[in-house]
């Protein structure tokens, strides 16, 4: 049986549904103490006084850590820069008396039980010297510093690309012009699992920390530097993670608080953030974008101009490539970009699913829909007319791009040909019906990685890598690829991951891990096959004598000739004859930089909305997402990834918005009752189509990333459908009923 490409259930599914899978807050070492975090109630200023005396009187309280009495921490700013830190001076939890944002941790109460810790935390008295703050992006618009543009090979991959042609002149001369300003609010990650760390104090003074993270080795390096410990004295474990979506790329402050407390008390300590405290972490930055499109009367694009202002903190400069997607996606000789960042008195913004693409493509695809309306042509026809087989930034052809087929299959499955283009022309009883579509695009990334395989003579294999499974199914695809590469049944494969002592892996994000680790497994499996061939060829009268490595494969528990399956030897016999009980190989895989081709994944999203004409209530009743993403490792888990992305896109379009009281600089809806996300009743029919897209050059297995693309274009398709249903164009997300014109 071939496992790659087969719809396979998650190999870790049973452990998760039975509770056998243990998460960071479920580890129970002996003598465990519990920490409760106290956070600031001002957005900027200094701590004037912290009175912990009443808290210390409570029975069961072990200590209250503040910047005044915590264990020693590094004074070197560089120690706080993790692997994915942006430019600037990273936040130092519990380091000094400065307040940089509302919700900043200022103390940790540690007690024998969580309830005692939480009660004692309520008794701590805090006084501040409050400073002036700004949390409203619109107050920073004029003074927001601009990022310098870069060419395709520039060192700053997130800066706006260099302009091409004469965009302003071409725009002025265009037959049809569109200008629009599009707003995306701050959005917060709301994974089910809260951020948590259980720091186990080992007898020799070492720390083993179970942490919620997307990168155990990133956290290990960060913790060892910040706490001034030897790297070998810190081990980070994260075998299971209940959703990350970018929030776990960087170490969160609770891991340092748990480590500090464990060192101070010389015992194990758990720190779990509350749901409200989760809103004191990173977020998708608010954006104000201006798109200007100019076209000939036939729809040919003449000019694309995209300006964006995005939010970051006062102490770090976080940004992503917000504007470049507009110049990448469609054929146009004249393009110009500007990107400014607005520093506010908030915690640093961060990556959230498809960072920059989810927001930048939203503005572009709404603008393309508006241009289609102005031209009087079908929105799909406009996109096909402007289709490009090359990366417009650098002229490189794509290694593979089957977006045309995404348009075709998606439109056919949706029934797009039956669309009446006139707004308010389609109805279902008392509901207005709207159909909208958009394009999705993301990068096909891959990163250096190392994999270890241990094959035993009884036909079992263990594959290990420090990478994380953030819920995307990494356990499963690692097992599938290993089974195929070694010719073993899936049930004979054991996967180990999420442990900083395992072979090297970067953080899991950007949709790069599946392609990277799968090809890493293939590299290491080659070394296993080579060693097996060496053993098999030395057997008396070996049918594989003189056969070279390229001519053999592993299949059905044997090493066999690819040309003649009858010429084979069982793996067990080869190892037994060689006197070997186990074969262990660890290899690193690096991917050569391709200077000749561009690598991306694409999608076409079609959405139907039904809107109560009197109440303005919007329902997304149908979505079709057609995706071209290279070779699909597992259609079952891959489809689940796209479904999840579509659901999140519905939330982005209609629900999600972090509301800040700018007078206090404080999030007002820091809970999942008032921060709205889609629930089951909001989700109806979603159809996922995977369009065949062979890619022989991107990597050996032809794999592209998949997790991010699912959300890209969804919000735009829904916004365009809302316009088609109502005739009202809403450019300010989320689209709520108060923004619709109604009788």
> Catalytic residue numbers?
708
Tokens of 714: 């969804």
Alpha-carbon distance of 195 to 274, in angstroms, equals 8
Residue 48: which residues within 8 A CB-CB, separation 6 or more? 127, 128, 129
Give backbone dihedrals phi and psi of 422, rounded to 5 degrees, phi first.
-70, 125
Q: How many CA atoms lie within 13 A of 654 on its CB side?
A: 26
Spatial distance between the Cα atoms of 410 and 303, rounded to a whole number of angstroms: 28
SS3 for 68? coil
What CA–CA distance (Å, rounded) separates 581 from 304?
63
For the chain, the distance separating the N- and C-terminal CA atoms, rounded to the nearest angstrom, is: 61
Give the closest residue to 118 by CA, choosing from 186, 185, 61, 36.
36
Angle at 603 between CA 598 and CA 607, to 5 degrees: 160
- For helices 513-537 and 474-486, give the axis angle rounded to 10 degrees: 30
The upper half-sphere exposure of residue 46, i.e. CA atoms within 13 Å in the direction of its Cβ, equals 4
Residues whose CB falls within 8 Å of the CB of residue 442, separated by 6 or more in sequence, listed in order: 354, 357, 511, 600, 601, 705, 708, 709, 712
CA 492 vs. chain centroid, Å, equals 31
Residue 302: what are its φ and ψ, rounded to 5°? Answer: -105, -30
Q: Which tokens hold the place of 44?
A: 């900027």
The edge-to-edge listing of strands for the beta sheet with 45-51 is 98-99, 45-51, 125-130
How far apart CA 662 and CA 212 sit, in angstroms, is 31
Query: For residues 512 and 502, what is the distance between their CA atoms, to the nearest angstrom?
Result: 19
**Short-list 355, 294, 357, CA closest to 326:** 357
Q: Collect all residues with Cβ–Cβ distance below 8 Å to 711 and sequence separation of at least 6.
A: 353, 354, 358, 645, 646, 648, 649, 652
Q: Are 518 and 477 in contact (CB under 8 A)?
A: yes
The interaxial angle of helices 357-375 and 714-726, nearest 10 deg, is: 30
Tell me the C-alpha to C-alpha distance, in Å, between residue 582 and each of 453, 458, 520, 576, 585.
10, 9, 20, 10, 10
Listed residue (22, 496, 498, 18) closest to 270, CA to CA: 22
Q: For residues 629 and 706, give the distance between their C-alpha atoms in angstroms, rounded to a whole number.
A: 6
Among the listed residues 339, 396, 355, the one whose alpha carbon sits nearest the alpha carbon of residue 161: 339
């Amino acid at each position: 049986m071939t496992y790659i490409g087969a719809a396979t259930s998650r190999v870790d599914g049973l452990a998760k549904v039975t509770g056998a899978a243990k998460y960071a807050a479920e580890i129970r070492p002996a003598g465990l103490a519990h920490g409760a975090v106290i956070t600031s109630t001002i957005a900027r200023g200094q701590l004037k006084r912290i009175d912990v005396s009443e808290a210390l009187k409570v029975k069961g309280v072990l200590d209250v850590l503040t910047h005044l009495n915590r264990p020693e921490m590094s004074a070197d700013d560089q120690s706080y820069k993790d692997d994915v830190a942006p430019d600037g001076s990273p936040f130092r939890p519990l380091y000094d008396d400065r307040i940089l944002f509302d919700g900043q941790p200022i103390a940790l109460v540690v007690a024998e039980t969580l309830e005692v810790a939480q009660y004692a935390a309520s008794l701590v008295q805090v006084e501040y010297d409050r400073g002036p703050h700004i949390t409203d992006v619109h107050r920073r618009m004029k003074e927001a510093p601009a990022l310098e543009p870069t060419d395709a090979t520039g060192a700053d991959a997130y800066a706006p690309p260099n302009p091409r042609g004469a965009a302003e002149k071409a725009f002025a001369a265009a037959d049809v012009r569109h200008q629009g300003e599009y707003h995306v609010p701050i959005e917060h990650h709301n994974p089910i699992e809260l951020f948590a760390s259980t720091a186990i104090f080992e007898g020799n003074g070492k720390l083993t920390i179970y942490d919620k993270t997307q990168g155990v080795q990133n956290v290990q390096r960060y913790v060892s530097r910040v706490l001034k410990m030897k790297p070998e004295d810190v081990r980070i474990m994260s075998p299971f993670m209940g959703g990350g979506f970018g929030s776990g790329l960087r170490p969160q402050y609770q891991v340092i608080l748990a480590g500090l407390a464990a060192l101070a008390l010389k015992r194990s300590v758990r720190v779990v953030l509350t749901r409200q405290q989760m809103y004191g972490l990173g977020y998708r930055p608010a954006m104000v974008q201006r798109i200007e499109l100019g076209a000939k009367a036939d729809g040919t694009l003449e000019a694309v101009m995209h300006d964006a202002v995005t939010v970051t903190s006062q102490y770090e400069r976080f940004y992503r490539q917000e504007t470049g997607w507009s110049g990448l996606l469609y054929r146009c000789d004249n393009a110009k970009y500007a990107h400014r960042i607005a520093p506010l008195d908030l915690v640093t913004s961060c990556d959230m699913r498809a960072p920059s693409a989810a927001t930048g493509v939203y503005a572009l695809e709404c603008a393309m829909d508006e241009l289609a309306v102005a031209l009087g042509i079908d929105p799909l026809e406009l996109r096909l007319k402007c289709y490009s087989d090359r990366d417009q930034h650098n002229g490189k052809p794509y290694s593979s791009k089957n977006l045309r087929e995404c348009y075709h299959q998606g439109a056919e499955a949706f029934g797009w040909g039956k669309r009446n283009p006139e707004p308010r022309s389609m109805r279902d009883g008392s509901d207005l019906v709207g159909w909208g579509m958009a394009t999705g695009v993301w990068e096909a990334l891959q990163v250096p990685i190392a994999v270890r395989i241990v094959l035993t003579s009884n036909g079992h294999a263990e594959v290990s890598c420090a990478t994380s499974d953030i819920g995307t199914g990494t356990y499963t695809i690692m097992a599938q690829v290993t089974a195929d590469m070694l010719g073993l049944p899936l049930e004979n494969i054991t996967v180990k991951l999420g442990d900083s002592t395992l072979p090297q892996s970067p953080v899991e994000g950007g949709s790069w891990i599946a392609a990277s680790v799968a090809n890493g497994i293939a590299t290491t499996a080659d070394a296993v096959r080579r060693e097996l061939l060496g053993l098999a060829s030395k057997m008396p009268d070996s049918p594989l004598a003189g056969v070279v490595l390229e001519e053999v494969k592993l299949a059905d528990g044997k090493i066999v000739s690819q040309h003649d399956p009858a010429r084979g030897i069982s793996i067990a016999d080869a190892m037994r004859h060689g006197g070997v009980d186990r074969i262990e190989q660890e290899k690193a895989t690096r991917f050569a930089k391709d200077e000749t081709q561009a690598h991306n994944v694409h999608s076409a999203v079609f959405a139907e909305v039904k809107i109560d004409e009197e109440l303005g209530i919007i329902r997304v009743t149908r979505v079709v997402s057609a995706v071209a993403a290279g070779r699909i490792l597992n259609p079952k888990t891959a489809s689940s990834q796209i479904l999840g992305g579509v659901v999140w896109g519905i939330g982005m379009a209609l629900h999600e918005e972090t509301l800040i009281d700018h007078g206090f600089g404080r999030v007002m809806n820091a809970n999942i009752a008032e921060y709205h996300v889609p629930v089951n009743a909001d989700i109806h029919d979603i159809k996922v189509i995977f369009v065949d897209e062979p890619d022989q050059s991107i990597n050996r297995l032809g794999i592209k990333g998949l997790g991010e693309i699912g959300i890209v274009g969804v919000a735009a398709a829904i916004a365009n459908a809302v316009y088609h249903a109502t005739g009202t164009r809403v450019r300010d997300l989320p689209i709520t009923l108060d923004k619709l014109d109604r009788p």
